[in-house]
Amino acid sequence: MGMRSAGAATIKRASEIERMRAAGQILADILDVLKAEIRPGVTTGDLDRIADRMMADAGAVSSFRGYGSHPPFPGVICASVNDEVVHGIPSPRRRLADGDLVSIDIGCIVDGWHADCARTWIVGDVPREVRELVDTTRRGMEAGIAVAVAGNRLGDIGHAIETVAHERGYGIVRPFVGHGIGRAMHEEPQVPNYGRPGTGLLIETGMCFAIEPMYNLGGDDVYVDDDGWTVRTADGALSAHFENTIAVTEDGPVVLTEHQ
Ligand code: MG
């Protein structure tokens, strides 16, 4: 999930980052199971139910359910299909079909510390250009993470992500951004998926970020659906979303939401 945030950028201690890693490893476990469940006929409500049960079994609390007020988000996951970019509401009526693209975003809290991540998966068979969109969006996330290094600036992250998208001529979603993360899901600073190198906040050891590019197979523009949550591409083009929570350490960026 990526939205506007308020407050100051915080520096985490190693022990705090370990709690975020614990939350992140639970998310990685859940995503492994959800990925295996992706097939034509499964509903996004089915996926939400699995995630809910696994999170509870792991002793974690959802970062998403009850979030916000327009209306409060009802799911443990966001499930965004095809032209839906982010924040899709999971539903037992939303059945995945061959050729769909589904982005699953998930966040949880362990001992008061959050982790947040997202993956886009293909359902059945898709044209090569759709597969490339997915692969490139993951690569964009990885390019952003690679420069989340102490001494760099936030604009370096955005620039790296934007550069990968532009190589392919993809649209980049601008109103929704990555973010600081820690005791709150959305902390300062915002981490846009575009930027100028060498500009913006100085990155320091102990900062934690959710880095989350959203690339469109069409233009940049998006709008929020009547349900108050679902973000869609204005031109109806497909969209992909990847997100990892990372910690900036003396040894470089460390991903907390993947199995090592
Ligand atoms: Mg997020």
Q: What is the per-residue pLDDT for 70?
A: 78
CATH of the domain at 52: 3.90.230.10
Tell whether 6 is covered by a domain: no
Q: In 3D, which of 227, 238, 208 has the Cα closest to residue 103?
A: 238
Tell whether 77 is covered by a domain: yes
Cα torsion angle, 236, 39, 77, 254, sign: negative
Tell whether 5 is covered by a domain: no
Model pTM? 0.96
**pLDDT digits over 208-256, tens only?**
999 999 999 999 999 999 999 999 999 999 999 999 999 999 999 999 9
Tell whether 53 is covered by a domain: yes
Q: How many angstroms separate the alpha carbon of residue 37 from the centre of ligand 1?
A: 23
Strand partners, 28: none
Tell whether 90 is covered by a domain: yes
CA distance 232 to 214: 11
Q: How many angstroms separate the alpha carbon of residue 105 from the centre of ligand 1?
A: 8
Q: How many angstroms separate the alpha carbon of residue 233 from the centre of ligand 1?
A: 18
Give the pairing of strands 244-249 and 222-224. unpaired
- Domains identified in the chain, total number: 1
Tell whether 230 is covered by a domain: yes
Tell whether 4 is covered by a domain: no
**pLDDT digits over 133-147, tens only?**
999 999 999 999 999
Residue 81 lies in domain = 11-255
